[in-house]
């Protein structure tokens, strides 16, 4: 009887200690970040309002601090610095108050002014980078200029979509950081204690300690580098094998596009070797390997040129006619959207993680299928041979979207998974960021046409949904007419709505439908009704046959 309390006490202490190990500040911060990320994704409309208020409070706070520095002279030195603080303070307080108390019309005006400022700043930075004599700052100026110009154009063109994109990106970042903090909090509860004080460490310190503890070591890093880069010994045979597989995959992909065969396209994706130098470029960027980064980038560029040239020659040689309006392999690759960038980001992260973790090496094949690298290049060659310039540009834009997204996502995973040498990463942090910045700016530039394409697709889908509802109401719920496809073509100055209807009744007046469609879509509509009359035949139990035939009403 006397041993039971001792056992209970020991169990309580063990449970209490386990709870203390798990419920540390890192896991708490991680849980909060995960919850916030999920909330941003679940309710984007509410999230935009919250972001506006948080941004307003942040700008108001920093603006007041800048004003205090300008008035008291603390934190800054020199008259010019105090004037700069005064200008920043006035701007911060003004914009902060606008975000907190202004109505939607004022917010829209602020967005337009901010967009114009970004466009002007981007153009000036680009001119300074191109015409400036200081070559050491040329790359940074061009990067900043391209990023600012792209953001300004997006704000002017599609502010709502950009706001939604920022919300989604913020949610994904919150989820990733939250997952890292949760994993770190669980790991520090293990016997191997962390060298930092988890009770007082900041999020940045926790992430840096995670990177340090995840370092895979020089031996393992050298082994992975041997598989990612074509170096001696045996550099020539490695390159020859890579080129043979690339050209074969391009040939297969081109024939698949000409035949409109999805299964064959998947086979071309499986054997395409372009992922290797792209991942190698990401690994070289985060490790500061300039020579390897240059050789990987050059190999990708030469591979792209060779792939497009081979696809052009094959499509010119093979006597096959490609129906660009009906070929699914072409249609699916000439209008990339923001979703394609998200797919490529996830695929790049998966490919980098599978590269570092040898137990997941078999997943590389799935990554190759998830993100298309060679098929878009095949479509580029086929489109160029047919002089379809817009289709060639759209397909090449898809490849560039995949390429840039894979590099950025893989670079982040390589850092977190320990492939990047932690000591060098900490000492050369600015250099690593400067090498990755052009890819970030290029991603923003690519994002401009992607968002425009997505806006066009969404606008067409919304118009077709509205037209479908109008046509259904025009026909009537109890009608024996069946509504087929409702297509909206708004590419020209006028809007053309094509409606397919079959049935055994007469049509209601088409002029009524045209007026209703014009009112619903807000623009004059040219209506095309393709009516196919049908005959309904009924055979009773005693064999009596009765038919009801409908005829079109010309009115």
Q: Where are the alpha helices (DSSP H) in 73-103?
A: 79-101
Strand 495-503 and strand 481-489: pairing? Answer: antiparallel
Record the tokens describing residue 89, joined without a space. Answer: 């303070």
Residue 139: pLDDT band (50, 70, 90) is low
Check residue 488 and give its pLDDT: 80
pTM of this prediction exceeds 0.75: no
Measured CA angle at 296 (ends 293, 301), to 5 deg: 120
Q: Would you mind telling me the total number of residues written for the chain in this entry?
A: 555
So what's the pLDDT on residue 161? 59
Residue 40 reports pLDDT greater than 80: no
What tokens appear for 382 in the block?
């086929």
Res 6 pLDDT > 60: no
The 10 Å Cβ neighbour count of residue 381 is 25
With contact defined as beta carbons under 8 Å apart, do 312 and 396 qualify? no
pLDDT of residue 251: 92
Mean pLDDT value across residues 415-436: 74
Percentage of the residues of the chain whose pLDDT score is greater than 90: 6
DSSP 288: T
Burial of 449 (0-12, 13-18, 19+ CB in 10 A): middle
Residue 122 confidence (pLDDT) above 50:
yes
Q: What are 203's two structure tokens? A: 């999020």
Q: Domain segments of the chain: what residues?
A: 24-171, 214-427, 460-549
Contact 335, 453 (CB under 8 A): yes
In words, the CATH class of domain 214-427 is: mainly alpha
Q: H/E element holding 545?
A: strand 545-549
Q: Is the dihedral of CA 258, 261, 264, 265 positive or negative?
A: positive
**How is 12-35 classified by DSSP, letter by letter?**
HHHHHHHHHHHSSHHHHHHHHHHH
pLDDT of residue 430: 65
For domain 460-549, the CATH class is alpha beta
Least confident of 225-234, 322-331, 361-370: 361-370
**Range 517-537 average pLDDT:** 79
pLDDT of residue 553: 44
Tokens found for residue 460: 């067409």
Report whether pLDDT(146) > 60: yes
pLDDT of residue 473 exceeding 70: yes
* Contacts of residue 503, Cβ cutoff 8 Å, sequence gap at least 6: 479, 480, 481, 482, 533, 534, 550
Greater pLDDT, 220 or 534? 220
Nearest to 257 by CA among 380, 370, 96, 341: 380
| Whether the predicted pLDDT of 475 surpasses 90 | no
pLDDT digits (tens, 9 = 90+) for 210-267: 777 777 888 888 888 888 888 888 888 889 999 999 999 999 989 888 888 888 888 8
Alpha-carbon span 470 to 465, nearest angstrom: 9
Q: At residue 279, what are phi and psi to the nearest 5 degrees?
A: -65, -35
Biggest distance spanned by C-alpha atoms of the chain? 106
Token pair of 271 as six digits: 């054997």
Residue 457 is encoded by which pair of tokens? Answer: 């697709």
Q: How far apart are alpha carbons 321 and 325 in whole angstroms?
A: 12
Q: How large is the average pLDDT for residues 473-492?
A: 76
Give the 3-state secondary structure of residue 497: strand
Give 319's DSSP letter. Answer: -
The mean pLDDT of 526-530, rounded to a whole number, is 83
Question: In 119-231, at which residue ranges do the beta strands (DSSP E only) sit?
Answer: none
| Beta carbons within 10 angstroms of residue 215's beta carbon | 17
What mean pLDDT, rounded, does the chain reach? Answer: 75
Per-residue model confidence (pLDDT) at position 76 = 44
- For residues 96 and 110, give the distance between their C-alpha atoms in angstroms, rounded to a whole number: 11
Select the more confidently predicted residue: 202 or 21.
Answer: 202
Question: What spatial distance separates the first Cα and last Cα of the chain, rounded to whole Å?
Answer: 99
């Amino acid at each position: 009887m006397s041993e039971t309390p001792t056992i209970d006490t020991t169990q309580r202490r063990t449970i209490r200690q386990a709870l203390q190990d798990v419920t540390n500040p890192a896991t708490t911060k991680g849980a909060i970040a995960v919850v916030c990320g999920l909330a941003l994704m679940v309710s984007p409309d509410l999230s935009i309002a919250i972001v506006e208020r948080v941004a307003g409070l942040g700008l108001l706070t920093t603006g007041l601090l800048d004003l205090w520095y300008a008035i008291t002279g603390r934190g800054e030195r020199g008259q010019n610095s105090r004037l700069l603080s005064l200008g920043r303070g006035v701007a911060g307080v003004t914009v902060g108050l606008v975000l907190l108390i202004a109505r939607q019309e004022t917010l829209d005006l602020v967005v337009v002014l901010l967009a114009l400022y970004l466009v002007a700043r981007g153009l000036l930075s680009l001119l300074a980078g191109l015409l400036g004599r200081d070559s050491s700052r040329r790359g940074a100026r061009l990067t900043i200029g391209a990023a600012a110009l792209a953001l300004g154009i997006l704000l002017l063109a599609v502010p709502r979509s950009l706001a939604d994109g920022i919300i989604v990106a913020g949610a994904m970042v919150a989820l990733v950081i939250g997952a890292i903090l949760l994993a770190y909090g669980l790991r520090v509860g293990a016997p191997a204690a962390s060298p930092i004080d988890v009770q007082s460490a900041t999020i940045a310190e926790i992430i840096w300690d995670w990177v340090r503890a995840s370092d895979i070591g020089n031996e393992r890093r050298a082994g992975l580098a041997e598989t990612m880069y074509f170096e001696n010994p045996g550099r020539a045979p490695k390159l020859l094998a890579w080129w043979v597989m690339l050209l074969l995959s391009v040939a297969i992909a081109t024939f698949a596009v000409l035949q409109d065969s999805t299964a064959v396209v998947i086979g071309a994706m499986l054997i395409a070797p372009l992922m290797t130098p792209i991942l190698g470029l990401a690994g070289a960027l985060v490790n500061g390997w300039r020579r390897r980064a240059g050789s990987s980038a050059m190999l990708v560029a030469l591979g792209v040129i060779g792939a497009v040239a081979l696809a052009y020659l094959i499509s010119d040689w093979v006597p096959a006619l490609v129906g660009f309006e009906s070929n699914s392999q072409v249609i699916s690759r000439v209008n990339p959207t923001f979703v394609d960038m998200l797919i490529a980001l996830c695929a790049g992260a998966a490919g980098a993680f599978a590269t570092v973790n040898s137990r997941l090496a078999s997943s590389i094949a799935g990554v190759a299928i998830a993100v298309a690298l060679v098929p878009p290049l095949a479509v580029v060659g086929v489109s160029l041979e047919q002089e379809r310039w817009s289709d060639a540009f759209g397909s090449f834009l898809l490849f560039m979207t995949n390429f840039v997204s894979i590099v950025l996502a893989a670079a982040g995973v390589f850092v977190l998974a320990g492939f990047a040498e932690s000591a060098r990463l900490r000492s050369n942090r600015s250099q690593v960021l400067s090498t990755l910045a052009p890819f970030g700016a290029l991603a923003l530039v690519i994002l401009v046409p992607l968002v425009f394409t997505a806006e066009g697709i969404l606008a067409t889908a919304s118009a077709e949904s509205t037209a479908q509802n109008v046509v259904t109401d025009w026909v009537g719920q109890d009608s024996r007419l069946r509504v087929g496809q409702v297509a909206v073509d708004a590419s020209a100055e006028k809007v053309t709505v094509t409606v397919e209807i079959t049935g055994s009744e007469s049509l209601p007046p088409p002029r009524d439908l045209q007026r209703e469609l014009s009112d619903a879509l807000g623009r004059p509509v040219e209506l095309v009704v393709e009516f196919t009359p049908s005959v309904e035949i009924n055979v009773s139990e005693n064999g009596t046959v009765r038919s009801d035939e409908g005829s079109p009403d010309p009115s």
